[in-house]
Structure 1
Amino acid sequence: MIVTEGLTKRFGRVTAVDGVDLAVPRGVRFGLLGPNGSGKTTLVRMLLGLVHPTSGTVRLLDRPMPRGAGAVLPRVGALVEGPAAWPHLSGRDNLRLLDAAGRGSRRRGRRDRVEEVLRRVGLGAVDRRPVRAYSLGMRQRLGIAAALLRGPELLLLDEPTNGLDPRGINDVRELLVELNAAGTTVVLSSHLLSEVEALCTRVGVMDRGRLVLTEDLDVLRAPTGRVLVRTPDPAAVVGLLDGQVVGRDGDELVVRGDDPAELNARLVAAGIAVTGLTAQRRSLEQVVLESTGAGSDQVDGGRT
């Protein structure tokens, strides 16, 4: 679906994207993570042909970019660096104009297409007020609606929940899961760990222009080989398990072991009360912190 090799973009002395080799297979929900300034948006813009790379190659839907943009972009929905709109027009009129400008678009069914995407993003009951009177969250929903107009095979969304309240974030998450289940590949760029962790099946982590990690989320959050045990009698657990206890915080202990059920049976057989027991997993936050260096807003040899 997406393949880049050695993709690099320099702006003067600043290298915004540095030798990125990325492969996004069809059908996934891919989260591109990284702090502001790490190169995420520049990478997405190069994927769409909006920015030409200094070096390296991009293939989108099996075609080279930007040379294949004419054939590729009608099959792609995108929201990059915030939604664009004619501010004096209503949301409906904006979408009708966008649909009319689309390559191969037909007038027949246009009204239904516009009403359908407005409904899907929660703007079905919006009135005819101009977009300049919309809240930031409404503008963001309208931008997502525009990305859905053509029934895309691939969605590229840069910070799609920016400006949305918690209900709106949940609505967008459910919509993207629904679209993905119907066959749309979703690529989401965000600096919000919680957003990516809740939605995506595979993640890539960018740090100062480099792609430092790409992996399935389930693999990254696999059990660590330790079990978290909560008990009102931690001293008894320490006494029973001897050297297996590797950490303690109040009534919670970290115990070496791969089988929580076996450990629970052993504690119960010894007459020790257990109030909580779970396999320890790394959080996505831990994974990102281990993979990245200093924040992208720090000055380092001409990079910002």
Structure 2
Amino acid sequence: MISTRGLVKRYGRIRAVDGIDLDVRAGDVYGFLGANGSGKTTTVRMLLGLVLPTAGEVALLGERMPRAARRVLPRVGALIEGPAHHGHLSGRANLALLDAAGPGGSRRTRTRRVQEVLEQVGLGGVDRRPVRAYSLGMRQRLGLAGALLRRPELLVLDEPTNGLDPQGISEVRELLLDLHRGGTTVFLSSHLLAEVEQLCTRVGVLDRGHLVLQEELATLTAPTGATVVHTPAADRVRAVLDGRVLAVEGSRVVVRGADPAEVNALLVGAGVPVTGLALQRPTLEEVVLAAAGSSPDRVEGAR
């Protein structure tokens, strides 16, 4: 669905994007992660032909961009750097204009399609107020509605939950999952690690223009082969499981072994109280920090 080879964008001496090879496959919900200034939005703009690369190749839906933009873009929905609207018009009027301006929009079904996407994003009951009176969250929903007008095969989103409250974020997450179940491939640029961890199937991590990680999320967060034990008697765990204790942090003990039942049986049999037990798995935040570095100005943690 999206493929880049050696993609580079320079601004003078600065390499905003430095030789990245993206691989987004049909059926992915792909999380494109990175701190502000890492090159995410520049990359997204190059994917859509809004910015020309300095070097490298871009293909969307199997066709070279921007050469094939007229054939490809009607099959792609996009929300980049926040929605742009005519502030004096209503949301419905803005969507009708957007549909009329794009290729392939049917005038006969326009009213119905506009109503459908407004309902999808939670604006079905919107009144005739001008967009300039909308909240930031409402404008973001309207931008998402615009991206959905043509029922795209590929949805490219840059920070789609910007300005939304927790309920709005949850609703957008469910909407994207529903679209994915219906066959839409989603490419989501974000810095919200917790959201990406709940939503995405694959992730790519950009750090200062370099793609430092690209992998299935399930692989990145797979069990490590250790068990986490929670107990008020951490010192006794070390005595019972001599040589298997990897780390002790207060009441949390990490023990070598991927069979929690076996670890529990040994500890309980020795009279050690166990209040919690689970396989150890790295969080997406831990994976990203390891790949991109732990400096807070480079990677934003989960919220």
**TM-score category of the 2 structures, normalised to the smaller one:** over 0.9
Shift, 1:296, TM fit: 9.5
Paired-residue identity, %: 66
Secondary structure at 1:16 match in 2: strand
Distance 2:81 2:234 in 1: 51
Distance 1:235 1:9 in 2: 55
Shift, 1:297, TM fit: 6.0
Shift, 1:85, TM fit: 0.6
> Are 1:262 and 2:262 counterparts?
yes
Task: Give the match for residue 246 of structure 2.
Answer: 246
4+ runs of 1 displaced by more than 4 Å? 294-298
Secondary structure at 1:239 match in 2: helix
Q: Which shifted more, 116-125 or 229-238?
A: 229-238
- Once the two structures are superposed, the pairs formed by residues 171-182 of structure 1 within 5 Å of their partners are 171-182=171-182
Task: Give the match for residue 301 of structure 2.
Answer: none
Secondary structure at 1:196 match in 2: helix
Change (3 A) 1:57 1:3: same
Task: Give the match for residue 70 of structure 1.
Answer: 70
Alpha carbons 1:37, 1:297 under 8 Å: kept? no
Distance 2:96 2:289 in 1: 44
- Once the two structures are superposed, the pairs formed by residues 205-224 of structure 1 within 5 Å of their partners are 205-224=205-224
Task: Give the match for residue 166 of structure 1.
Answer: 166
Task: Give the match for residue 103 of structure 2.
Answer: 103
Alpha carbons 1:35, 1:295 under 8 Å: kept? no
Distance 1:18 1:145 in 2: 32
Shift, 1:294, TM fit: 7.2
1:38-89 Cα distance to aligned partner (Å, 9 max, x none): 0000000000000000000001001000000000000000000000111110
Shift, 1:295, TM fit: 5.5
> Are 1:147 and 2:177 counterparts?
no
**Matched letter for residue 107 of structure 2:** R
Shift, 1:245, TM fit: 1.3
| TM-score for the superposition, normalised by structure 2 | 0.95
1:135-192 Cα distance to aligned partner (Å, 9 max, x none): 0000000000000000000000000000000000000000000000100000000111
Distance 1:101 1:219 in 2: 43
**Matched letter for residue 245 of structure 1:** V
Secondary structure at 1:224 match in 2: coil
Secondary structure at 2:241 match in 1: helix
Distance 1:252 1:208 in 2: 35
| TM-score for the superposition, normalised by structure 1 | 0.95
Task: Give the match for residue 197 of structure 1.
Answer: 197
Shift, 1:105, TM fit: 1.1
Shift, 1:232, TM fit: 2.9
Shift, 1:249, TM fit: 2.2
Task: Give the match for residue 56 of structure 1.
Answer: 56
* Aligned positions, number: 298
Secondary structure at 2:21 match in 1: strand
Distance 1:205 1:232 in 2: 38
Shift, 1:275, TM fit: 1.0
